[in-house]
Each structure stands twice: as C-alpha cells, then as structure tokens.
Amino acid sequence: MSISKCFLHKARWVQGIYQADIDWMMGIYQHVGHAPYACSVHLETNRYISWNNNDQGEQNAAYAYRKPIEYCSFVFSQQTLHYTDIVPVSPQPKHAVIYLHGGPHNCFMDSYSPVIEKLRDAGLRIIGFNYPGSSGFDYDYRQLIEQDWGGMDLESLIHLRKTVLGDYTDVYLYGVSYGGYLALLAAGKASSLWTKVSACAPFTDLEHLHDT
C-alpha cells in the first residue's frame, strides 16, 4: 500500500508516494532554485536516487544543498515580516536582488522558478520578500496594507534594503504585477537605494485599476 504525500523535507518540496515500508519515497524533487526531477528519497539518510539509473539525482541534490535557502524575518513597525534568503555558491556575493511577488495577496513560494535559478547561478543573492499583505501567514498579515497599497509594504521594503542588505553597493529590484508596481514606486521614492529596477507586467495607475 502506498500513501500519496506532498511535504517539506529538509526545506525542499518533495512530492510523490511512500512505498509500503515508508523508508523510501518515490516522486518529484524540487525547490525554488532547482528544477523538478523524478527520484526516490531515502528519508533516514536523505539520499536521492534518480529514476534514470544513474547518479544524476544524487549529484543534483548535492548541488542544491551547496546553495542554502534560509527562511528569515525582521521586525518593522512592531510587525514580524518574512523573507526567503537564497545565497549562491560563491563565498561572498557582491550583488543582491529583491524579488517582489504579485498579488499583493500572493507569496514567494519554495517551488521551482527558472528566473530564481538563473539569478542565483549568475552569482546574485536573492531576497524573496513576503511584504505586508502577502498570503501564507495569517489574516492580520494579509490585512496590513488594506486600503494602503504602497504604504507599509513600501516602507518595509526600504527598511529591508537598508538593514538586511545594508552592506551591499549593488541591489536590484525585480517585481511582477503588483510587485512591479511596488518596485517602480520604490524606484521613484528612494532611487539612490537601487542599482536597477525590473518591473514585469506592472500597473501604474491605482485609480484606473480600481475603475476597471
């Protein structure tokens, strides 16, 4: 008998089915910077075996573990705010990018993203910021920017830049949809903090957005 399961194992998503003895799980391995691939996972030894009869799966897993992902938080305006810190293989990255998800009621998830993979492989440190208003925490967290888009989310983004990434000379913003709006707003309000800004499918007129 097998049990279908999707769970967070060693801070990486593994989706598949348990075998009858529960020692091995067969399924798909992935995390935000690593493309999914079919494998078996030994849950006690954390050994990954790919299904194509070679050791590529174990090599992929070892490669991924050399690139740590940390789930972090900081306090701003008496609120605990959350972000994912993704560090490349290089010992001390000189550049960083803050990734702003869309929504705003969405979140930075630990599932594979080719954009994140390419940024990290290029040697950038990536901060996936779950700014106030993000989902995945609690109702109060989602409501922090209710009727205040570009308020606390923008202020906390600037605070994160000055504190968490205060030692970095080059910091980039990458935003999608609402995150693109927030990135453009940050570029206008605090242009000296950012080296470059990339806004994918942003909106720029809140009044027009509300009317439509």
Phi, psi of 149 (to 5 degrees): -60, 135
What pLDDT was estimated at residue 114?
85
> Higher pLDDT residue, 21 or 69?
69
Give the β-pairing of 47-50 and 69-76: unpaired
Contact 186, 173 (CB under 8 A): yes
Q: Give the separation between CA 1 and CA 200, rounded to whole angstroms.
A: 46
Predicted structure pTM score: 0.75
**Residue among 184, 123, 138 at smallest CA distance from 157:** 184
Which H/E stretch holds residue 195?
A: none
The 10s digit of each residue's pLDDT in 158-189 is 999 999 999 999 999 999 999 999 999 999 99
Residues in the chain: 212
Q: Can you list the domains of the chain with their CATH numbers?
A: 13-59 (no CATH), 69-200 (3.40.50.1820)
List pLDDT tens digits, range 17-28.
444 445 666 666
**Amino acid identity of 57?**
G
Backbone angles phi, psi at 186, to 5 degrees: -65, -35
How many C-alpha atoms does 106 have within 13 Å on its Cβ side?
Answer: 15
Instruction: For residues 118 and 110, give the distance between their C-alpha atoms in angstroms, rounded to a whole number.
Output: 15
**pLDDT tens readout for residues 32-66:** 766 776 666 666 665 656 655 444 444 444 444 44
- Greater model confidence, 196 or 20: 196
Query: What sign has the CA pseudo-torsion 155, 83, 113, 15?
Result: negative
Per-residue pLDDT of 98-136, as tens digits, reads 999 998 888 888 777 888 888 888 889 999 999 999 988
**What does the pLDDT read at residue 91?**
67
Q: What is the mean pLDDT of residues 149-161?
A: 94
Cβ-Cβ contacts under 8 Å for 13 (sequence gap 6 or more): 6, 7, 29, 30, 31, 110, 111
The pLDDT score that the predictor gives to residue 32 is 72
Residue pair 66/89 in contact by the 8 Å Cβ criterion: yes
Give the pLDDT confidence score for residue 176 in this predicted structure.
Answer: 93
Report the pLDDT value the prediction gives residue 189, as an integer from 0 to 100. 93
Asked whether the beta carbons of 156 and 76 are under 8 A apart, the reply is yes
**pLDDT tens digits, residue range 134-149?**
988 889 989 888 888 8
pLDDT at 63: 45
